[in-house]
Amino acid sequence: MFQKAVFSALLLCSAASQAFDGTPSFTTREGGVEHTLKLSQWKVDAKGLPSFDYVYEQQAGACHFKVAGHATAGFEERGGKVQLDVFNPEDGKGKELAQILMFYDDAVTMTLPLKGALRQVSFDDELTAAQQRASCGKKKDAKLAVLFRP
């Protein structure tokens, strides 16, 4: 029982170490389209599973497109313990980069650093046909992938 309590405390601490305060906002421009991502309401549930709310927006002239939701960290539960989906990415030269956590909400996938400042956040969405028509970017591609760097 003591080991379970220690594991849970460590898990909560590691998840909380990445927590963000306030409402971080990221903006980038690609092909005449301004992309904005706002994160809010970071929380960690009793199992140690982090989640947050997000709002993604596109703006190009009169066009405005928005996707909002609640993303939860990817995880596996084994023997009643939550194990977060932590990845160890590498750059193009094989150098190990900072660990990242994957977050999901329906067709949306996001990556945030496991620890430290939000230096890079990715946002990927598989747009429905209606979303494609409403979006401000390429109308032919259902895949939306944006990398935000502050």
Sign of dihedral through CA atoms 56, 125, 105, 42? Answer: negative
User: pLDDT class for 80, splitting at 50, 70, 90?
Assistant: confident
Domain ranges within the chain, ordered by starting residue:
2-148
Angle at 90 between CA 84 and CA 94, to 5 degrees: 145
How far is the CA of 126 from the CAs of 62, 86, 121, 141, in angstroms? 23, 22, 17, 9
pLDDT classification of 8: cutoffs 50, 70, 90: very low
Average of pLDDT values for 128-144? 87
